[in-house]
Homo-oligomer: A and B are copies of this chain.
Amino acid sequence: MKEDKEITIYDLAKHLKISAATVSRSLKDHPGISKSTKKKVQEAAKEMGYRSNNFARNLRKQKTNTIGVIVPKLNSYFVSSAIAGMEKIANENGYNLIISQSLESVKKEIANTITMFNSRVDGLLVSLAYDTENMEHFDVFFDKNIPVVFFDRVYEDSRSLNVIIDNYRNAYDITKHLIDEGCKRIMHIAGNLTRNVYAERCRGYKDALRDAGFEFQDELLIVNELSEEAGKELGKKILQMPNKPDAVFVANDVCAANCMQIIKTAGYSIPGDIAFAGFNNDPISKIVEPHLTTVNYPCYEMGEMAMRNLIDHLTGDGNISTTNKIILRSEIVVRASSLKGKGQ
């Protein structure tokens, strides 16, 4: 059926000769409305092409049924997988998502935060931009008791829930694995150390070295952006080092794969001359040759988990999170790029 004017509950009421209140209640399956009226109303609604008006509803209920998501960048394997997981859970629970990207800039992150606030999202899911240091822009949410869940790149704060993996442990394991393979000069390429993920991975790296009786060397730690291009640049940089590392642990796969490729193309054998390891289990890690040792990061599950907890919190389905930190399981995946003994 095709109409131009929107049908409202009043139209239905008039049509059925009952009150709008009864229509409203019937539509939301209110107990205390007779089966027969309910049925009548629901049928008429379908017939006349009624659709409920969320704005009126939200205005009245002071609730939006919308969840905001702020991520650094939509087009990365990690983020798109996490969002796919979030979308699934949100959709199942009747929530809408509004998504925006900070493009790794605090400035845009702040702007997005304000937009989300003005859109009156019921809750917020955030993975921080590369250079965010100050967290004041989230205060408006805390002040209004709007729940904020951070995932992956989080902010340690008692007022919010964090969903993360054990970056420290994984980095420790990777480094230890490289040591076990006989590597002596292990380089680590990290991201901005004010971001928990990179700080923790770096700490894991350092502790593994220490526990193996190695001394940490400043020249073997590079803090840098971790993009595709950056990987290539870093590869060239390593090629120019007089005293090269015999292993490189990069804090993400895209960067690792591109870095490795430059070095391989320059004639070095991998892992023979230099072993490599990355982080994330990006599909690229299984394509690059040799395949990249990495950490199996549960991206999709993290999205699901973060969203599920936010929604549980919103609907008050038990204050399940007595804690404010959820750590998902992740583990090291060993592949050829780091198997020194059995080099390709």
Interface residues of chain A, those whose CB is within 8 Å of chain B, are 2, 4, 51-56, 58-59, 64, 66, 73-77, 79-81, 83-84, 87-88, 91, 96-101, 112, 115, 117-120, 143-144, 228, 254, 257-258, 261, 283-284, 287-289, 300
Tell me if B53 and A59 are in contact (CB < 8 A): yes
Q: How many copies of this chain does one complex carry?
A: 2
Assess A51 versus B117: contact at CB under 8 Å? Given A76-B80, A81-B75.
yes
- A88: chain B residues at CB < 8 Å are 101
- A53: chain B residues at CB < 8 Å are 59, 120
- A284: chain B residues at CB < 8 Å are 283-284, 287
- A100: chain B residues at CB < 8 Å are 87, 91, 97
Tell me if B99 and A87 are in contact (CB < 8 A): yes
Tell me if B74 and A87 are in contact (CB < 8 A): yes
- A51: chain B residues at CB < 8 Å are 117-118, 120
Tell me if B143 and A2 are in contact (CB < 8 A): yes
- A56: chain B residues at CB < 8 Å are 55, 59
A sample of 9 cross-chain residue pairs with beta-carbon separation below 8 angstroms, ordered by A number, consists of A55-B55, A74-B80, A96-B119, A97-B100, A98-B98, A254-B283, A283-B284, A284-B284, A289-B289
User: Quick one: closest B residue to A98, CB to CB?
Assistant: B96
- A99: chain B residues at CB < 8 Å are 83, 87, 97, 99
- A87: chain B residues at CB < 8 Å are 74, 99-101
Tell me if A54 and B118 are in contact (CB < 8 A): yes
Shortest beta-carbon distance, A335 to chain B, in Å? Answer: 13
Shortest beta-carbon distance, A70 to chain B, in Å? Answer: 11
Q: Give Cα A277–Cα B120 distance, bound, in whole angstroms.
A: 48
Given A53-B120, A91-B100, A258-B287, 15 other A-B residues pairs in contact with their CB atoms under 8 A: A51-B117, A53-B59, A54-B119, A55-B55, A55-B59, A66-B98, A74-B84, A80-B80, A87-B99, A87-B100, A96-B119, A254-B283, A261-B287, A283-B284, A287-B287
